[in-house]
Amino acid sequence: MLIFINFFLRVLAFLLAITFFVVILSFLISLSKTEFSENKFSFKKGNINSNNKIAILKLRGPIFNEPSNIVEFDFFDNYKVIYVTEIKNILEKLELEKIQGMIVSINSPGGSVSASYNLHKILNDFKIKNDIKIFFHTNELLASGAYWVSLASDKIYANYGSLIGSIGVRGPDWIYFDTPISISKGILGESIETKKGIKKFNTIAGQSKDLFDSFRIPTDKEYSSLQDIVNNIYDDFVNLVSKNRNIENNFIVNDLGALIFDAEHAKKNFLIDDVIGLSDAIENLVSDLSLKDYQIIEQNKNKLSFFEKLIQIRSSVFNNNTINLKKQEICNLLNNHISVIFIQNNLNNSC
């Protein structure tokens, strides 16, 4: 018994030491990140002595309001997410730079309705308050909620081969297990056996407390209410596109629909202004602003500090668990929000 107690105490002491070590490292990392982030933007090219500044803001991934838990994922590039709260903080710092214009380089499949709306409003308010021009550019994907956000810009550009569109609203489906017989969990996951099979109802939103309960069908009133919510959001989306892109509502609804277009067809359908690269978009903004000289400033990438490099030596189990937490967070957000979604394959398959 004494041997067991000694062994147990040694193991406990070892685990406590590891925990303490990780906590201290996390604290030191947070301090180093705070110091580094004081200057969010730095000179990239052009005339460093010019007072005419053009900022490049790079946004990647689905759009959500804020992280849903306290876990930080800055060390992992597997999954990029655009958080509105983070963009708001960045713009507050960027406001001190007194810029003349900004290029938002974005690749995003969309996000939750509220986050897309909020990000659009934040960028639009920033543009009006600082009396600047904002151009949007995408290299790959500008769809759904991300396209909604881009409507805060003065011009929208896309690289050849990128995908643009998906002007529509979609949320979670309602899966109904008709007359379940048994529910079991095993190493291969959960299985449900039913008498009458599985029915799928393509609802989009909801307001009942037990909405999307997998063991009952939606009532006509609930289904109608859900459709009304979606229709209202869709109408707002269409009106915003019509106003900002000078496209007739009927053309958006009947001809464009929620289809995805390549860059060339997106231009023909007036969804973007031209098919060009990012450097050409910058030159267009410079020309539009009639600037003789300028400097490009860009958001600093978080460089790994000494302590961050140390923490990367942690066990593979910790690493995988943290990445899985981030994947689960994104999936939870996607599955539990009324969303404007066109999900990339790697995210969709992971969820």
Band (pLDDT 50/70/90 cuts) for residue 142 is very high
Is the confidence at residue 146, as pLDDT, over 70?
yes
Q: Which two tokens stand for residue 247?
A: 């496209």
- What are the percentages of helix, strand and coil residues in the chain, rounded to 5? 45, 25, 35
Over 50: is that where the pLDDT of 75 sits? no
Distance in angstroms (rounded) separating the CA atoms of residues 124 and 152: 5
**Phi and psi for 67 in degrees, rounded to 5?**
-60, 145
* pLDDT above 50 (res 260): yes
Q: 258: pLDDT confidence band, cut at 50, 70 and 90?
A: confident
Tokens of 278: 């990012």
Residues 295 and 43 sit within 8 Å (Cβ to Cβ) = yes
Look at 236 and 345; give whichever has higher pLDDT.
Answer: 236
- Segment 273-279 mean pLDDT: 94
Instruction: State how far the Cα of 306 lies from the Cα of 345, in Å rounded to an integer.
Output: 35
Average of per-residue pLDDT across 316-331: 47
193 forms bridges with which residues in the sheet? 182
Confidence at 42, pLDDT banded by 50, 70, 90: confident
Residue 344 pLDDT class (50, 70, 90 cuts): very low
- Confidence at residue 116, expressed as pLDDT on a 0 to 100 scale: 92
Query: pLDDT category, 127, cuts 50, 70, 90?
Result: very high
- Higher pLDDT: 244 or 168? It is 244
Is the pTM above the cut of 0.75? no
pLDDT greater than 70 at residue 343: no
Report the pLDDT value the prediction gives residue 1, as an integer from 0 to 100.
62
The per-residue pLDDT for 205 is: 39
